[in-house]
Structure 1
Amino acid sequence: MKMKIKLLSFLFFFVGFLYVALPPLSSRLNIENQLSEDVIVEVSTANGQLELELENYLIGVLASEMPASFELEALKAQAVASRSYVYSRELKVDDTTSSQVYQNDDVLKEKWQDSYDMNLAKIKEAVVSTKGQVLVYDQQIIHAYFFSSSNGKTNNSEDYWTTPYPYLVSVDSHYDDIKQDNRRTKAFTFDELSQIFKEAFISMEIISHYENDYVKEVRVNDKIYSGRAVREMCELSSSSFQIERNEVGIIFTTWGSGHGVGMSQYGAQGMALEGYDYIEILKHYYQGVEIVNK
């Protein structure tokens, strides 16, 4: 009888030890499988079609679209924006800037070298801590466009594209000042401009701006082009630019990098450095949205 009591006491002690020493099984499964779900993203690449689980796909996107050195809150904002974006594309994207850049693990190991483990852990934390979160407006997942940096203000969607979205409106983004090369210059000879515009180059003049100082219209010889068209034809950093003519050609001075619509990535970093969390960052750049779990 005493042996049975001792054996039962030992068993109770052992089970109690396991309960204290290890988290409950459900918690351990949650930690181990926190990136596992059934949502599959179809990614078109130069080497063919990939089918990737959503949250793991987002790790490759976040690692490609934003420096791992950025603040965690900025990375979390990017994770939610990127998740929303891929849902808005009905889970069908490519791996370039036409959608959002995705790089696989082999590329990340080559890019990060000795910092791979540290950087990947930080990227995963941003994705896992926001798992399933998307941006909605009027109960619809938004087109969560984003770009590198602005001229100090973001663009209205209809000023760069043609469709107005109530959540993609111009907002202050002075935080972009942290980007060291936010102001750039690019020079063209008259011959180069003639090749770009398909006629002998005579003159170029900016004739109108939007209120946020992005260029609206440019006259080249006797033709009118949008600021966006000139930006894309001349491969300028942004459509916020000035022009200066000299004896050999035109010098463009640009402010910002990208189309300027939606969330500025350097703006998100600047806000994070000032103590804003990812929800505040997202609600600043996407006006009137809510963050919900998909």
Structure 2
Amino acid sequence: MKKHIKIIFTVIFVLSIFINSGFSASAAINVPEKIRIGLYFTDKASGINTAVCSFNVNAAKGLTINSLEDGKLVLLFEETTNNIVTIRKDSFFINTNGVLTEYTPGKEPAKQGEKIGPYHVRIGGDYKDAKAARAQADALKKKGIDAYVAYADCWQVWTGFFTDEATAEKYMAETLKPALGNGDTTVSTVSQSSKSIVVQNSKGEAAMVYCSSKGVLQIQPRTENDPYSLTINNTNSYRGDLEVRRLQDSDMTVTNVLPLEQYLYGVVPAEIQASSHPEALKAQAVAARTYTLSSLNRHETLGFDLCSTTHCQVYKGLSTEDARSNKAVDDTAGKKVLYKGSLAEVFYFSSSGGRTEDSKNVWGGDVPYLKSVEDKYESGDSWKYNWEVTMTSQQVKDRMLQLGYDTGDILNIVITQYSEAGRAIEMVVRGTKGEAVFTKAKCRSAFSLDSQLFTITTDAGVSVKGAGKTSPKVQLSGSKVMTANGVKTIGAGSGSGLMVIGADNKLKPITAVPTTYTFTGKGWGHGVGMSQEGAKGMAEAGFTYDEILKHYFTGVDVE
């Protein structure tokens, strides 16, 4: 089942929810003509790395490659058929039978092949337009010089892909100048640039190098394409255009640019099954549209609005579209969730386990429309509705070290506070050297659990009978007990010799310090906002999409 969850821990983001929810006057809602979705990129802040050093692209009836400058397009290259075009960094590669492997100088991979690099030789001066530059490149090819055009905010002609400047200079002196003859053609080396992008044709030849300082490389399907779409690496197809940037710390960043409603075509079936009830699909479409508009510019530093991963919303483009989910998007076109006239910040997740959670118990901030509500229409048999995770004490210790807590050997893990909905909102991990305290969403993330709705049992749990009743199983580690030598605290190393009198009045050995911890829970996701399983159940029970949304988001309007 295609289930995805959005995990938001950023304090600034939570504060924005709190601030925005306080608006009482109607505010203009910005609906851009097109939005930008990051497909391949690196974002250190969120820990996402999908960046690529090269990719293939084609369109059924051809494509164009342009430089987008101040809203205007400069045509760089055109492929009129469905032939594949390769876009790659102008960097260091080893070419092994046509397969390019990027490497770092001094750390070459074991693969054998031709080394190519980001140094070039420029032949002649600037040309007035692409036509003139290509004519010169073609003339040079007839002389045996492997020339190609380059766009550096003006048209030039270059040759070679050298691994260093010295090799470029040697080629220029020993091969290029003799081939050019005794004319007055000037030649010069072109040093490595962190911005350059190479466009290769279907034959693997360099069609051009793009190194503009003021433009963005944009790839468009030719207008003859229906649907207007591109295919990347022979697998994923996307409506709209692509933008390619080389950014510091984000390798080569690829962005899909398309209208909002077409973007939602690729989101809804990736977030909820297209076979779901039509009203559930509509609720998902409105929630996704609202989330998109409230999250614009979330990745602004990387040149796009939202990413295609669970960090924002899962987006798989044209490849995952379905007529049923497309219809849900069309039937709710423009509909959004509003609170007191302003755009609400909505969230959704897979399943709640019976009741959703108040946002203050997950991310903090008291948001009036993100309150805990009953969720009785979930089927109860969905993927990860019931789950269990078991960890050894050593695994827990290692995890604490990964999180920066040197707690020593683990003595116990205790949930010290629950929300009214039954979720863990404070959890303490106690060890021989100290303890680590986790609150709210960190109760879940500390051990990468599926939800905050869980209990903890161990192999050292015992039932203690007192005052006429038997308690649930408890851990003895850290507890005080009466022994023949007086009151003692049970700690690490106490297990092997500990004896208790059982119900049959016989002494039995028990383990005081757990060696395993089992987390048993319900639901999948953060639990705030709309449960997708609950929405499907409500739709099957006869509720409309707006009734579903109003149930999960307290006091909102759908307009």
Same fold (TM over 0.5): yes
Does the CA-based 8 Å contact 1:186-1:252 persist in structure 2? yes
Higher relative contact order (CA 8 A, sep 6+): 1
Equivalent-residue separation in structure 2 for 1:148 and 1:219 (angstroms): 27
Does the CA-based 8 Å contact 1:179-1:266 persist in structure 2? no
State the Cα distance separating 1:211 from its structure 2 match.
0.4
State the Cα distance separating 1:120 from its structure 2 match.
1.1
Question: Superposition pairs for residues 1-294 of structure 1, below 5 Å?
Answer: 39-46=33-40, 47=51, 48-90=254-296, 92-106=305-319, 108=320, 120-180=322-382, 181-198=384-401, 199=406, 200=408, 201-221=410-430, 222-246=435-459, 248-292=515-559
Partner of 1:6: none
State the Cα distance separating 1:140 from its structure 2 match.
0.8
Does the CA-based 8 Å contact 2:428-2:438 persist in structure 1? yes
Does the CA-based 8 Å contact 2:393-2:515 persist in structure 1? yes
Equivalent-residue separation in structure 2 for 1:172 and 1:239 (angstroms): 16
Equivalences, count: 245
Equivalent-residue separation in structure 1 for 2:425 and 2:32 (angstroms): 44
Matched to 1:204, the amino acid is I
Does the CA-based 8 Å contact 1:178-1:270 persist in structure 2? no
Equivalent-residue separation in structure 2 for 1:151 and 1:123 (angstroms): 25
Equivalent-residue separation in structure 1 for 2:285 and 2:296 (angstroms): 17
Equivalent-residue separation in structure 2 for 1:93 and 1:173 (angstroms): 29
Partner of 2:162: none
State the Cα distance separating 1:151 from its structure 2 match.
2.0
Larger proportion of helix: 1
Calculate the aligned-residue CA RMSD, in Å: 1.6
TM-score normalised by L of structure 1: 0.80
Equivalent-residue separation in structure 1 for 2:360 and 2:257 (angstroms): 33
Partner of 1:33: none
Q: Secondary structure in 2 aligned to 1:87?
A: helix
Partner of 1:15: none
State the Cα distance separating 1:38 from its structure 2 match.
6.4
Equivalent-residue separation in structure 2 for 1:203 and 1:39 (angstroms): 55
Q: What is the CA deviation profile of residues 92-134 of structure 1, one whole-angstrom value per residue up to 9, with x for unaligned ones?
A: 211111111000223x2xxxxxxxxxx7110111000000000
| Unpaired stretches in structure 1, ≥5 consecutive residues | 1-36, 109-118
Does the CA-based 8 Å contact 2:353-2:380 persist in structure 1? no
Matched to 2:426, the amino acid is E
State the Cα distance separating 1:90 from its structure 2 match.
2.4
Larger proportion of strand: 2
Equivalent-residue separation in structure 1 for 2:38 and 2:446 (angstroms): 26
Q: Secondary structure in 2 aligned to 1:176?
A: coil
State the Cα distance separating 1:227 from its structure 2 match.
4.5
